[in-house]
Structure 1
């Protein structure tokens, strides 16, 4: 499996608190723990040519993991459309935290993907609401994070194909924090936790969910449909 971890890599360059937590970038930490799965993992960032997502890279990518926050608008329409098309053609997509507002996710959802938010060092408890799903394998009833950014409902997304996690926050809000979607031949997993000023991606349970999500969105055997005018399979008696 070929996995590309994409990160805008801007907070790490401008905020010392973030660079202290993620000296190799958020993408570096995610790539490191995905490498434990015996898959081929590379990274790409916003400031690379074509954001590191050339036609050649995308053509070879089975699963794309996407993290973005402060620079969504700097992603070109051309690259966003190419990523969207690759998902429709069968590439898996894992969307993390504030990438809910990325051009790619909004294009695939067709909605604003807006929500409530608050930074107040709150406890987050991610409840597993589908314990039979492969993405929750190896996870208990919930994942508890000591400090995270709050995301609250209403989350303006289409009704998910499957709801996997539901978060509760110390301030009282709840949020659909793990959801899956199918678009064309591609599968998408959105997973909420991962604010840049917290060490969330070092949490072993969070890592396990992302590993499971990468394995789940990978397209292994979906046939490419044939469209347009079709010859009959049987003799038509007129």
Structure 2
């Protein structure tokens, strides 16, 4: 079964910064999508901030199994309407993979419900990513650790909720550590946060990083039908109760068939 993936890229630094443009001449989103496309099980396409509806129409999201999100400079330019649209699809069962500076994206903060803040430093230092959960699907095909020669440091405390699983922990040359691979579930949707990916370094060409993303897509994919109506809060009338019909006792706030307060 083919897993349909959309790689969403902010696509701002690639247009404005010559260093980033030299590393990712087709855009980071395209490089990530091409890496995923090396796996015959994955069908990867791209979407960007600049497209109508940020490339994430209702119709397109309905056909997306896993969405990958990379953003940094333009978090505030992402439409709140699109954020709610994506959140709804995650609740319905679409997988979401949030990369690097996407920790501050509207969608990640919306789903985490916390500041998602951290410490950081740009010094081109070495990163050693340790595999904490050897049996996890996201860690398959990896050694005990892998290294990225130049990276941006992300350090604790990382103000996110306690994850379901910690898959990776990173050590940096400067001495800091960071929980660099975390899993969550919101509604029917699985979420994976993965920190490597600073735009001024060729991290998304790294073989191990590409393996992590391929594994994460397969982990996040939910083959079950979408949980349609998960955000609804329907009234179940007394005459429709499983052991009904019931006799209504006492006063009520709502008339029969009336929608509830939100």
Q: TM-score range by the shorter chain?
A: over 0.9
Q: TM-score, normalised by structure 2?
A: 0.86
1:189·1:217 contact (CA, 8 Å) conserved in 2? yes
Give distance in 2, aligned partners of 1:105 and 1:167. Answer: 20
1:90: which partner in 2? 93
1:29: which partner in 2? 31
Q: Which of 1, 4, 7 is 2:6 aligned to?
A: 4
3-state DSSP class of the match of 1:216? helix
Matched, 1:81 2:84: yes
Q: Which of 177, 192, 195 is 1:192 aligned to?
A: 195
Q: Kindly tell me the number of residue pairs found equivalent between the two proteins.
A: 236
Give distance in 1, aligned partners of 2:134 and 2:127. Answer: 19
1:53: which partner in 2? 56
Give distance in 1, aligned partners of 2:33 and 2:74. Answer: 21
Q: Deviations over 1:111-157 (max 9, x none)?
A: 00000000011111010110010000000001111110000000000
2:183: which partner in 1? 180
Matched, 1:62 2:65: yes
2:251: which partner in 1? none
Aligned alpha-carbon RMSD (Å):
1.8
Displacement, 1:34? 1.0
Q: Deviations over 1:33-72 (max 9, x none)?
A: 1112222211000010011111111111110000000000
Give distance in 1, aligned partners of 2:218 and 2:225. Answer: 15
Q: Deviations over 1:52-111 (max 9, x none)?
A: 111111111110000000000000100011001110110000100000000000000000
Matched, 1:116 2:116: no
Structure 1: stretches of 5+ with no match in the other structure: none
1:128: which partner in 2? 131
Range with bigger deviation, 182-191 or 223-232: 223-232
